[in-house]
Amino acid sequence: MSLNFSTKTVNVDDYTLSGAIGEMENAVIVFFWVGNSPKLGELSVSLPDRSNSQLLGDRDEMISKMIGDRIASQFQKMALVSTNLPMGFEGREVLRLLSELLSE
């Protein structure tokens, strides 16, 4: 068995924002990063009952939890979310990219 990710990239101002989503039997893993290479960032985990925890970092905590809640409730699985974004990056752009990833 292999893990396949759907990926998408958009340009936002001077940044390249990328996102990837992969579904497992019991979980969905989502990554968002800025730049050419994938990077692990702040991590949060969310459950379908909307309980969540920040596992690592706190800079993008709010956007990570919003993404996690949406993914966990939509898929009815645990969601692990990584965000590696520069300071002050617009969360709206990340949510827009998430919508594009989910519509595929």
User: How crowded is residue 46: how many other Cβ atoms within 10 Å of its Cβ?
Assistant: 25
User: pLDDT digits over 47-80, tens only?
Assistant: 999 899 999 988 888 999 999 999 999 999 999 9
Number of domains in the chain: 1
9: domain CATH number is 3.30.230.100
Give me the domain span that covers residue 28. Answer: 5-102
Please, what is the end-to-end C-alpha distance for the chain in angstroms? 22
Fill in the amino acid letter for 5. Answer: F
Listed residue (104, 38, 101, 36) closest to 67, CA to CA: 101
Rounded Cα gap, residues 36 and 23, in angstroms: 23
For the chain, give the mean pLDDT. Answer: 93
For 88, which DSSP code? T
Residue 89 has pLDDT above 90, yes or no: no
